[in-house]
Amino acid sequence: MKKVFDNEVILPEVARLIEQGHSVTIPVRGNSMNPFLADGRDCVTLGGFVPEELQTGVTVLAKDMEGRFVLHRIIARRDDRLILQGDGNLRQTEETTPAQVAGKVIAVIRKGKRYAADGVLWRTYSYCWVKLAPCRRYLLALYRRL
């Protein structure tokens, strides 16, 4: 029997476990990280980090300035502010601070296969996707038609 919990219930507990030094694997919910992290298909393993690791391209679980948890990619770092954006979002961004980051993605599990977030394949994808921002509109439109 599969149980589903609201993000407002489960994510603070995930953040607490990560703070205690555990890694936590959760299913991806929502479509903001499409096409590479899909709702109901993929899981992410979240773990601890040091602030220096919070660089462009890293995917994090963080509270935005409105207090909502988001699992989005860092697209820019400006002093003590991190600018986050979902891979499937064209314009919408969120701001947060390193103190509001609960954990960083250390692995992605897709169709039973585990991909290390610091591996060459995932880092290359992250770099390219951030750099492809000007033409993402067309890539996402193509993806949605498939």
Tens-place pLDDT, residues 66-94:
999 999 999 999 989 999 999 888 889 99
Between 145 and 41, the higher pLDDT residue: 41
Q: Beta strands 101-110 and 59-63: pairing type? A: antiparallel
How many residues are listed for the chain in this entry?
Answer: 146
pLDDT score of 1: 67
Which pLDDT tens digit goes with each residue over 14-25? 999 999 999 999
The model scores a pTM over 0.85? yes
pLDDT score of 145: 76
Q: Which amino acid is at 90?
A: L
Run of H or E including 59: strand 59-63
Average pLDDT over residues 38-64: 94
pLDDT score of 62: 97
Look at the alpha carbons of 37, 34, 143, 117 in this order and tell me if their dihedral is positive or negative.
negative
- Cα 70 to Cα 85: distance, rounded to the nearest angstrom: 9
Between 128 and 24, the higher pLDDT residue: 24
